[in-house]
Chain A
Amino acid sequence: MLISDFTFIFYFMPGFFVLYNIFPPKARRCVLAAGGLLFYSWGRLQDAAVFLVLCLAVWVLSLLAGRSKKFAYAGIVLCVACLAAFKYFNTPLGFPLGASFYIFHMISYLIDVTRGSKAEKDPFVLLAYLAMFPKLIMGPIEQYHDLAETVKAPVTTVQDTADGLLRFVVGLAKKALLAMQLAPMTEALWLDAPDSGISAWMAAVCYSLQLYFDFSSYSDMAIGLGRMAGFTFGENFIYPYTSSTVSEFYRRWHASLGRWFRDYVYIPLGGSRGGTKRTLLNLMIVWVLTGIWHGSTLNFLVWGVFLGVIICVEKVTGAAKAEKSFWGWLRTTVLIVLSWTVFNAADLPEALNHLSMMFGASPFAVTRQVLASLHDQWIVLLCACLGCTPLVRDLGRRIAGAEDTLKTAVLKTALMCVLFAASLLLIVNSGYSAFIYTKF
């Protein structure tokens, strides 16, 4: 089940939150764990069995870490080995949905234990943290120490539930009104690329927008659901396309993964404490790992190395700390769009082929696909471009106002109803559409 599925929206979500709020805070970890397992196992019993076995192993090894930390390290090795096996080898278990994310949560917990956090004796607390359905499949990757206390007795309020609902619907709308509308355009333009360099560039730009709205919409929905359940997740996407450097972009894009790598890889490797060479090496290690984390094909490695090199160059030249500028933004956006082209391709030859189309291998002809995209979807493109900036958020705040008044509540509720209805209309029209990041 995904959090944009009708099964979730019309049945699981209302049922879960009614039940969740009936129980007292101290019992909610059990509801959260049970709900997470039901959510995850829906249609994927084998994946759920793998998940449960791993949870059990992590819990036991973390308890044994009280005697010797070697057990926690063994747990980390087990998690990494499982992730590698799922991702890079054709195991009979296939690739369990969300494994990249939940295994990072498990590693987070085990590393925290090696660093002195108390191993969790109550299996329901750990299970509630790992199986927390809003973040289980596609993040945000919340580190254990950030949620450890809340998960034991999460407290919900009317305000949190209402705010969470709004955030959830805004996320759903981003998915349905923008990401799902950009998807067929990207696909058509990508197919059209051999006939037109303009199509190749437009496909790359549309994919960059689609990926942003697809992934950030999930994060919005997850953050909203987390809030409804009494948790405050960190922001995962902070208007990354307004960045002036690639380094800044990745502080704003999938920030929870960036934080995870910073806290559990970059800093343990020495971070920036060992001089320039060591810092650059550490950065490259992080980016190679980030590339590998995304997939087993060579294009992901090339994508990671490409970004690592750019970030290293920015570090060396001081560009990473430069003031915001239009040229910086333009350079960053072009580099990011190029990197997404490599990322989106099925393999490296396809990526190189598409890049060659962008740089002159195809004539810069205006094909009918380009014309139709601009003619029919200009409003989607415009909204997507505006949606990448804080303008809409600021405008919304100005109109609704920050005060707790009846007018504000009614306006926000009306907006939510309109967005929800429009999203349902477009989901019904477009049919089922999975999130891009479920495959990672």
Chain B
Amino acid sequence: MKRYGWITIIAFFLMTLTVAVAYAAGEPSDWSKSENRELAQMPVWEGSTSDADTYMRGFEPFLNDQFPMREALIRAYTKFQMDTGWWYVRGVWRAQTDPAKTGGYYFGPEYLFLNTYRTNDDARKTYAKALKQLCSQSGVPVADVVLPHKNYALAEGSGGAFTNELDAENLWARKEADASAGAVLIDACTPFCDAYGIEERTTMYFKSNTHWNPLGAFRASEIAAEEMAKAGLIAETSVPREDAFLWKDLSDDHIFPEGLAERLGIEMEIKEYIPVYKAAHPENWRYYTGLDKARVQRGDIVLRGIEDYELDYNKVGTRNLTYIRVENPDAPEDRHVLILKDSYQCATIDYFSSIFQSITVLDPRFELPPLKDYIRDENIDLILLMYHQNNNLEELSQYVEASWPDKQ
């Protein structure tokens, strides 16, 4: 290297110079499609010395985010990971596809999953405490309808690439909390997997999304309604009949470009099964939404945007709205039900509206007036919690606690 060290020096400085020039010449991007996030922009000097640190520190995220050809590099590396058979790429699980390991059943590589996390002990304790408060303070029966998460329902098809032990443990923890608080447990998870084999269950969840499709939501709702009847919350005759709904398959005319696939750079290539259902006779139903509880059209709430070519989970279900009320004077159960929910509940609105004369759906992830106001103002006589089994339920717990602050 004594004589030839120049080669190394020149090569290195040419590489750094090339990148530095490319930075200067390139047009900054605003958005990373593969990461679904805004990209850092060139920091702007605000003029005051107190901004100096912020200004200087702004360069590193800018240079990271605006690295020349960054999006292409990310996609190339992701493709490399996928082509070499990684199971866990960019925070997304891809199922094992070896039919020999799935009892001959082929589970396609386009089935994408996010990680399951064990609901943490603090969250479990907080939920148990909040649920106790809800049961004792609300003055109405509370039923916890636990919905089967995709990871729980489909793990069997992964051929051992992942298990649903954590999902099962989360379900167990939820049952424990329900039992200690005196809430009625409606477990839709276990009977759901018992009633449908893995091949059927596979048709009930979107491949490229963490949610179920409306068919999964419907089948789980049926099971939940039957369990509610067994628990005496509704009459057995109130469980809707299959012919109370109309079905349509949108798979051929629409695409479902969803986030998990976008992360892997394989958007638009996954053929999704998109079954949607609606109540057969919703003519007399009334819909309300917003904090002012304004009356709106059905199309503003249910299957909104369903005519679009590009569909997403919110369009085939119901958008996550702060407040929804559906009144169905023809429903068999003369009950005013309040539902606290996560996004898994979205595709169940028509089903439960067919059972109860009034359902009020609140999403505690939004800012809401106190829960006790809704219970009082809308004569609520049953509260349903509708969350999938892996939800930490933190927003729900906080909302309940905020509604009945601990006097101590």
Q: Is B404 an interface residue (CB 8 A)?
A: no
Considering only residues 1-40 of chain B, those with a C-beta below 8 Å from chain A are 1-9, 11-13, 15-17, 19-20, 23
Would B166 and A162 count as touching, CB distance under 8 A?
no
Contacts of B61 in A (CB 8 A): 432
Please determine whether B1 and A163 come into contact, CB atoms closer than 8 angstroms.
yes
**B5 touching A409, Cβ below 8 Å:** yes
Give 1 or 0 for each of B127-145: 1 = CB within 8 Å of chain A CB.
0000000000000000000
Known: A368-B162, A412-B1. A165 touches B20 (CB 8 A): no
Contact A158 B160 (CB under 8 A): no
Contact bitstring A366-380, B, C-beta under 8 A = 1, else 0 = 011001100110000
Residues of A within 8 A of B17 (CB): 14
Residue in B13, B52, B70, B88 whose beta carbon sits within 8 Å of that of A428 in the complex:
B70
- Find out whether the CB atom of A191 lies under 8 angstroms from the CB atom of B117: yes
Contact call A195/B166, Cβ cutoff below 8 A: yes
Contacts A159-B2, A429-B77; A367 near B163 (Cβ below 8 A): yes
C-alpha spacing A1/B67, complex, angstroms: 18
A166→B8 contact, CB < 8 A? yes
Q: Does any Cβ of B come within 8 Å of A54's Cβ? A: no
Q: Interface size for chain B: under 10, 10 to 19, 20 to 34, or 35 or more residues?
A: 35 or more
- In the bound complex, do residue A368 and residue B161 qualify as a contact, i.e. CB atoms below 8 Å apart? yes
**Measured CA separation A406–B100 after assembly (Å):** 54
Residues in A whose Cβ lies below 8 Å from that of B64: 6, 427-428, 431-432
Is the C-beta of A42 less than 8 angstroms from some C-beta in chain B? yes
Bound-complex Cα distance A162 to B88 (A): 39
For the complex, is B123 an interface residue (Cβ under 8 Å from A)?
Answer: no
How distant is A343 from chain B, measured CB to nearest CB, in Å?
Answer: 24
With an 8 A cutoff between CB atoms, is A169 at the interface? yes
Of A55-63, A79-87, A266-274, A413-421, the stretch lying at the interface with chain B is: A413-421
Q: Indicate with 1 or 0, residue by residue over B118-158, a CB within 8 angstroms of chain A CB atoms.
A: 10000000000000000000000000000000000000000
Q: Chain B: which residue is nearest A431 at the CB level?
A: B64
Q: A420 touching B15 by the CB < 8 A rule?
A: yes
Cα distance, A345 to B5, chains bound together (Å):
45
B60→A432 contact, CB < 8 A: yes
Shortest distance between the CB of A228 and any CB in chain B (Å) = 9
Interface readout for A184-216 with B: 1 if CB under 8 Å, 0 if not?
000010010011000000000000000000000
Nearest CB to that of B86 among chain A residues? A376
B165 CB to closest chain A CB (Å) equals 7
List, in ascending order, chain A residues with CB within 8 A of B296's CB: none
Which chain B residue shows the least CB distance to A429?
B77
Whether A409 touches B8, Cβ cut-off 8 Å, given contacts A6-B64, A43-B57, A194-B118, is: yes
Interface check B53, CB cutoff 8 A: yes
Taking the closest CB of chain A, its distance from the CB of B285, in whole angstroms, is 44
In the complex, chain B residues whose CB is within 8 Å of the CB of A169: 12
Once bound together, how far apart are the Cα atoms of A417 and B12, in whole Å?
Answer: 7
Chain A residues, CB < 8 A from B85: 375
Closest to B162 in A: A368
Which residues of chain A in 361-402 are interfacial with respect to chain B, using CB atoms and an 8 Å cutoff? Answer: 365, 367-368, 371-372, 375-376
Contacts of B245 in A (CB 8 A): none
A195 partner, pick from B6, B87, B165, beta carbons under 8 A: B165
What CA separation (Å) do A367 and B87 show in the bound complex?
A: 14
Smallest CB separation, A99 vs chain B (Å): 17
Does A27 belong to the interface (CB within 8 Å)? no
Does residue A13 face the partner (Cβ distance < 8 Å to B)?
yes
Least CB distance, B281 to chain A, in whole angstroms: 46
Interface residues of B in 218-243 (CB under 8 A from A): none
Which of B9, B23, B57, B60 touches A158 (beta carbons < 8 Å)? B9
- From residue B94, how far is it (CB to closest CB) to chain A in Å? 10
Q: Interface 1/0s, chain A 35-74, versus B by CB < 8 A? A: 0000000111110000000000000000000000000000
Q: Report the separation of the CA atoms of residues A421 and B8 in the bound assembly, to the nearest whole angstrom.
A: 14
Decide if A158 touches B5 in the complex (CB within 8 Å).
Answer: yes
Whether A11 is near chain B, meaning CB under 8 Å from some CB there, is yes
Query: In the assembly, what is the distance between CA of A390 and CA of B245, in Å?
Result: 70
List B residues 62-115 near A (Cβ within 8 Å): 63-64, 67, 70, 73-74, 77, 81, 85-89, 93, 115
Residues of A contacting B9 in the complex (Cβ-Cβ under 8 angstroms): 158, 161-162, 165
Contact among B4, B60, B165, B166 with A408 in the assembled complex (CB-CB below 8 Å): B4
Contact between A404 and B2 (Cβ–Cβ < 8 Å)? yes
Which among B7, B12, B63, B163 has the highest number of chain A CB atoms within 10 Å?
B12
Contact B12 A165 (CB under 8 A): yes
A327 within 8 Å of B (CB atoms): no
The CB with the most chain A CB atoms within 10 A, among B23, B61, B87, is that of B87
Among B1, B6, B163, B169, the one with the most A-chain Cβ atoms within 10 Å of its Cβ is B1
Task: Indicate whether A429 sits within 8 Å of B74 (C-beta atoms), given known contacts A13-B16, A195-B118, A371-B161.
Answer: yes
Question: Is the CB of A7 closer than 8 A to any CB of chain B?
Answer: yes
Contact check, B13 vs A14: say whether CB atoms are below 8 A apart: yes
Which of B13, B160, B165 is A371 in contact with, Cβ under 8 Å?
B160
Q: Given the interface contacts A368-B162, A371-B160, does A159 sit within 8 Å of B19 by beta carbon? A: no
Complex CA gap A42/B43 in Å reads: 14
Q: Is residue A425 within 8 Å, beta carbon to beta carbon, of the partner chain?
A: yes
User: Contact between A420 and B12 (Cβ–Cβ < 8 Å)?
Assistant: yes
- Within 8 Å CB of B118, what residues of A? 194-195
- Cβ of A425 and Cβ of B73 under 8 Å apart? yes
How many Å from the CB of B176 to the closest CB on chain A? Answer: 16
B280 at the interface (CB under 8 A from A): no
State the Cβ distance, B217 to closest chain A Cβ, in Å.
26
Asked if A5 is at the interface (CB within 8 A of a chain B CB), the reply is: yes
Q: Which residues of B contact A157 (CB under 8 A)?
A: 5
Q: Is the CB of B16 within 8 A of A7?
A: no
Q: How far is the CA of A335 from the CA of B113 in the complex (A)?
A: 38
| Chain B positions within 8 Å of A424 at CB level | 19, 67
Contact across chains for A43 and B53 when beta carbons are under 8 A apart = yes
The CB with the most chain B CB atoms within 10 A, among A158, A161, A162, is that of A162
* Contact of A7 (CB < 8 Å), options: B4, B52, B63, B86: B63
A413 touches B8 (CB 8 A): yes
Q: Is there a chain A Cβ closer than 8 Å to B244's Cβ?
A: no
Interface string of A295-332 (1 = CB under 8 A from B): 00000000000000000000000000000000000000
Q: List 21 A-B residue pairs with CB atoms under 8 Å apart, sorted by A's residue number.
A: A11-B20, A14-B17, A14-B20, A42-B56, A43-B60, A158-B9, A163-B1, A169-B12, A194-B118, A367-B166, A372-B162, A375-B86, A404-B1, A404-B2, A404-B3, A409-B3, A409-B4, A410-B4, A427-B64, A432-B60, A432-B64
Nearest 6 pairs between A and B by C-beta? A162-B5, A409-B4, A368-B162, A43-B57, A6-B63, A162-B8
- B contact set with A: CB distance below 8 Å: 1-9, 11-13, 15-17, 19-20, 23, 52-53, 56-57, 59-61, 63-64, 67, 70, 73-74, 77, 81, 85-89, 93, 115, 117-118, 160-163, 165-166, 169
Additional A-B contacts beyond A43-B60, A416-B8, A429-B74 (20; CB < 8 A): A1-B60, A6-B60, A10-B19, A11-B20, A43-B56, A158-B2, A162-B5, A166-B8, A195-B118, A367-B165, A371-B87, A372-B87, A375-B85, A404-B2, A410-B4, A417-B15, A425-B77, A426-B77, A429-B77, A432-B60
